[in-house]
Chains A and B, each alone.
Chain A
Amino acid sequence: MTGSNTPRANSMTGKRGKRWPLRPLSAVILLVLAAGAVASSLITQKVVEDQERLILREQTAEVAAVVGSAFAGAQSSLQLLGEIARSDQGHPQLFTNAARAVTTTSTQAWLVTTQSGTSLKVTAATGDGPAVGQAVSGDQGTLARRALSAKGLVSGLVRDGGTLRLAFALGGAAGPGTVVWQESAISPTTPTPTGPTSPFHSLNVAIYLSNHPDPSALVVTTTKGLPLAGVQYPFRVGADTWLIVASSSQSLVGSLGQDMPWLVLGFGALTAVLMTAVIETLGRRRDYASALVEERTASLRSAIAEREAAQADLNRQENMAAIGQLAATVGHELRNPLAVVTNVLYLMKVGSKADANDPIRRHIATAEREISAATRIVSDLLDYAAGRGPILAPVEVCDLVAEALSVVPPPDGVQVVQRGEPQVVDVDRDQIRQALLNLITNAYDAMPDGGVLTVSTISEPGSAQITVTDTGMGMDEETRDGIFTPFFTKKARGIGLGLAVTKRVVEAHGGTIAVRSMPAAGSSFTLTLPVVAAMVSASQ
C-alpha cells in the first residue's frame, strides 16, 4: 500500500463534487475583505476629492480677492485722474502727463469724455485710443452711458475693429457729465501663463466679465481648455459682477493624498489575499488532518472487523472440525450396528411367512424403512464431516450412474430411465457416486405416488453433464433457494446435509450444480463436470 499515509485526492474531490479552487469559507472571507478594501478606497477617494474641492474654492477666493484689489487700485487711479482733469481746464497737458505716468503698457489708453447734449466727446486723451474731439459711440458709448448712471466703477469689453479692449469707466470723476476711463487691448483666448513661483500655479483660471461663463465675455485665461469644469466664484468689480472659474491643473492635496485611495485599495487587496491564503491553508490542513483521521479510523475499524471475522471463522472451523470429528466417530460406531440390524431384519423377513399381510412382515418393513433412513443420516453426516478434496481418476460416467442406480433400487411405482453415451471423466468415483446417490434418493422421495426418474448424461466440449430429473412434487422458490444450505430440509426425516454435500463435492471438482423446479412439476438437477482435453481424446 504505497501512499497509504496520504488521503486519496479523489475521495476528497468526490466529497465536494465539483472542485473549486477555494473552500467556501475562504471565498467568503476573500469577498468580504476585497469589498472592504474597495469601500475604504472609495471613501478615501471621496474624502480626498472633498479636500481638493475645498482647497480649490479657497484658492479661487484668494484669486478673486487679488484680482478685486487690483481693480480697486484702478478705480483709485481713475478717481485721481478725474480730479486732475477737472482742475486742468485749459491745460490738458496736465491730464496727459498724469495719465502717462500711470500707464504701464503701450496698449493702454486713458480718456476723459464729456457729455454735451445727447452725444459724448473725448475732451482729453493719451495712449493709442480715440483722439480728443472724437465722438464716443458703439460699445464705448454704451459703456460711457452706463458709467454716467452707475455708482462706482463699471467695466466692459469694447470691440474696436479687430482689437478687443477691456475698459473700466468711472462716471462723474471729472465733474458732472464726465466719464474717466481706461482701456487696454487684451487677447483673452491666448492663455496667460502662470509661472511656477505664482501662488496659483496649480490652478487653471478663466475670468469672465459676466456672472456666467459666457465665452464672449472672457477676459483672461490661463489655459486653452475652455470651458473649465471647476469652481465658479462670482465677485464684485465696482458696480459689476465678474466670475472666476477655476480648476486645479495638478493635485492640490499633494501626490500622497492623490494616491491615497489606490494605496488603501492595494493594501486592502493585499490583506484580503493574505488572510484568504492563511485561512485556506489552515482549512486545508484541517481537512487533510480530518481526512487522515477518518481514513485511519476506517482502516482500523476494517482491520478490527477483519480480525473479528477471521477469529469467528476460525472458531467456526474449529467447532466444525470438532463436530466433524465427533460425527465421524459416532457415525462409524453406528454404521456397524445399523448394518447388523439391517441384516437381521432381512433374515427375519426371509424367515417369516410369505404372506404379505402377515403383521410381522409389515412391522419388519417399517423397521427396514427406519433403519435405512438412519443409515442415510449417518452417511450424510460422515460425508459432510469428511469434507476431503477429490482424488481424480478416469471414470466412465454411464457406469457410475448405473452403479449409483443399482445401490438404491427404486420404490414401487417409480420407473427408472437411463440415457446417454459412455464418456470418461476425471473424477473422484466415491464422491460423485455419493452425489448421484443423494440426487437419486431425493428424487425417489419426491415421488411417493410413483413417477419417472430420468438420469441422462450429455457430453459437451470441455464438460460432461449429468441430469437427474423426477416427475415428483417439485419445489417452490423458497425451497429451491435453500436446498444447498447445510441442515436445510423439508423432509419429515433427514438432517439436510445431502445436497450440501453434493454441491460441495461438485464444486470441489471444478463443476457446477443447477436446479430447475416448479411446484407439482417435478425437479431437475444438472451436474456439470469439467473434462480436460486430454481426457476427451483418451475416451475417443
Chain B
Amino acid sequence: MRDTLVAILEHHGYRVWSAPDGETAFSAVQERAFDVLVMDIRMPGRDGVSVLQEMGKPPPQVILMTAYAREDRLRAAAAADVFAVLSKPFELRRMLRLVAQASRDNK
C-alpha cells in the first residue's frame, strides 16, 4: 500500500519519503522539513495522532488516513489542526487533489 502510494505521488512529481512505522515517521519529521505529511492513524509502533501531537517543528500540512472512520475521526479532531482526514477506501483522485491543495497551502 505504502509503496504504491509512493509510486503514485512520485509519478505526480512529488518528492516522497516514506516510513514503515510510526517511530521512523516521527524521527523523520523531526529531522527534515516536509510540505505535506500523509499518514495512517494506525501504524505499527506509534500511532499517527501521537506522532502529530509530539512534532516540535513547524508542522507540515497533515492528511490522516483511516479505515476506522468514526473513532479515528474523533481522535484526529482531538489533535491539532489537520488538513484533512481521508476515510478508506478513498478515490485516488481525491487524495491527489488534497495533497495538491495541502502543498500549495504550505508554500
- Residues in A neighbouring B103, C-beta threshold 8 A: none
Q: Is the CB of B89 within 8 A of A343?
A: no
Closest Cβ neighbor of B12 among chain A residues: A350
Q: Is the CB of A338 within 8 A of B89?
A: yes
Q: Is the CB of B1 within 8 A of A347?
A: no
Q: State in angstroms the CA–CA spacing of A360 and B91 once bound together.
A: 22
Q: Is the CB of A375 within 8 A of B4?
A: no
Q: In this assembly, does A388 line the interface, its C-beta being within 8 Å of a C-beta of chain B?
A: yes
- Residues in B neighbouring A343, C-beta threshold 8 A: 1, 4-5, 7-8, 92
Q: In this assembly, does A342 line the interface, its C-beta being within 8 Å of a C-beta of chain B?
A: yes
- Residues in B neighbouring A408, C-beta threshold 8 A: 91
Rounded to whole Å, the gap between the CB of B87 and the closest CB of chain A is 7
Q: State in angstroms the CA–CA spacing of A351 and B5 once bound together.
A: 14
- Residues in A neighbouring B74, C-beta threshold 8 A: 391
Q: State in angstroms the CA–CA spacing of A254 and B88 once bound together.
A: 118
Partner of A346, one of B1, B8, B73: B8
Rounded to whole Å, the gap between the CB of A278 and the closest CB of chain B is 76
- Residues in A neighbouring B91, C-beta threshold 8 A: 407-409
A interface residues, tally (CB under 8 Å): 25
Q: Report B65-92 residues with CB < 8 Å from chain A CB.
A: 67, 69-70, 73-74, 87-92
Q: In this assembly, does B15 line the interface, its C-beta being within 8 Å of a C-beta of chain A?
A: no
Partner of B89, one of A344, A351, A379: A379
Q: State in angstroms the CA–CA spacing of A342 and B91 once bound together.
A: 9
Rounded to whole Å, the gap between the CB of A83 and the closest CB of chain B is 158
- Residues in A neighbouring B94, C-beta threshold 8 A: 406-407
Closest Cβ neighbor of B73 among chain A residues: A430
Q: In this assembly, does B11 line the interface, its C-beta being within 8 Å of a C-beta of chain A?
A: yes
- Residues in A neighbouring B93, C-beta threshold 8 A: 409
With A407-B94, A409-B93: A340-B4 Cβ-Cβ less than 8 Å: yes
Closest Cβ neighbor of A338 among chain B residues: B89
Partner of B11, one of A350, A428, A430: A350
Q: State in angstroms the CA–CA spacing of A344 and B5 once bound together.
A: 9
Interface centre among A340, A343, A344, A406 (most CB of B within 10 A): A343
- Which B positions have Cβ atoms within 8 angstroms of A? 1, 4-5, 7-8, 11, 67, 69-70, 73-74, 87-94
- Which A positions have Cβ atoms within 8 angstroms of B? 332, 335-336, 338-340, 342-344, 346-347, 350-351, 375, 378-379, 388, 391, 406-409, 428-430
10 contacts between A and B (CB under 8 A): A339-B88, A343-B4, A347-B8, A351-B11, A391-B70, A406-B94, A407-B90, A407-B94, A408-B91, A409-B91
